[in-house]
Amino acid sequence: MTDRPATRLAGALAAVALLLGAAACSEDPNSVAAQAKAGDQKGYISGDGTVETIAVADRGEPVELSGDLVDGGTWDSASRRGKVVVVNVWGSWCAPCVAEAPELQEAWAGFERASAPVEFIGIDFREGPERGAAFLKRANITYPSLSDESGVLILALQGKAPTVPTTLVLDRDGRIAARVNGPVSATTLRGLVDDAVAES
């Protein structure tokens, strides 16, 4: 005679295992990659704008970043030593990135007018270069951006870009001096960059 409770329990466990297996095989719709693919700027949660500054003695190795620009040409961080470099990780599919773009452009334009020893570089994360270039044109962004369709360039940022957007300030030696995890304002960014420029 069959043990019906044991049979029912075995059946229930098998159903749970099947559901868990299906969930494991499906892509998380809230992941960064899924949001980038969707391109609808919905549902993505970025950082809260927390600012982190790193004392000179506590900074790591210089960031080594290079690649192709979204509108052609190449860029590398090594040739920018001696200048403060602002690195902004963004995507046109990311609503907070779109919202902060005018703030970044405002800060960049101010440094450019002042002929400050500062450069800006964007990293267009998880989208094709044509789409990224179209956004930069619409938003009137005048500093360059690297194309990171594969999502590998941010590995060079030493774990400091866990969300999009993230903005890093590299000191004159290419080391990470400050980070904003989430959208940044022009005022905050100018302060962080001015501090890095003022370092001897």
User: What is the tens place of the pLDDT at every residue in 80-126?
Assistant: 999 999 999 999 999 999 999 999 999 999 999 999 999 999 999 99
What CA–CA distance (Å, rounded) separates 132 from 122?
10
pLDDT of residue 89: 98
What CA–CA distance (Å, rounded) separates 177 from 195?
9
Q: Choose between 3 and 148: higher pLDDT.
A: 148
User: What is the tens place of the pLDDT at every residue in 133-189?
Assistant: 999 999 999 999 999 999 999 999 999 999 999 999 999 999 999 999 999 999 999
Q: Note whether 56 and 45 are within 8 A (CB).
A: no
**Other residues' Cβ atoms within 10 Å of the Cβ of residue 68:** 15
**Residue 179 bridge partners (DSSP):** 52, 168
pLDDT of residue 26: 35
pLDDT band at 47, cuts 50/70/90?
A: confident
pTM: 0.79
Domain boundaries, the chain: 37-198
What CA–CA distance (Å, rounded) separates 98 from 33?
17
pLDDT band at 27, cuts 50/70/90?
A: very low
Q: What is the mean pLDDT of the chain?
A: 84
CATH of domain 37-198: 3.40.30.10
Is the C-alpha dihedral spanning 144, 179, 47, 34 positive or negative?
positive
pLDDT of residue 46: 63
Q: How far is CA 135 from CA 91, 94, 139, 141, 191, in A?
A: 9, 12, 6, 9, 27
pLDDT band at 21, cuts 50/70/90?
A: very low
**Other residues' Cβ atoms within 10 Å of the Cβ of residue 100:** 24
pLDDT band at 51, cuts 50/70/90?
A: very high
pLDDT of residue 30: 40
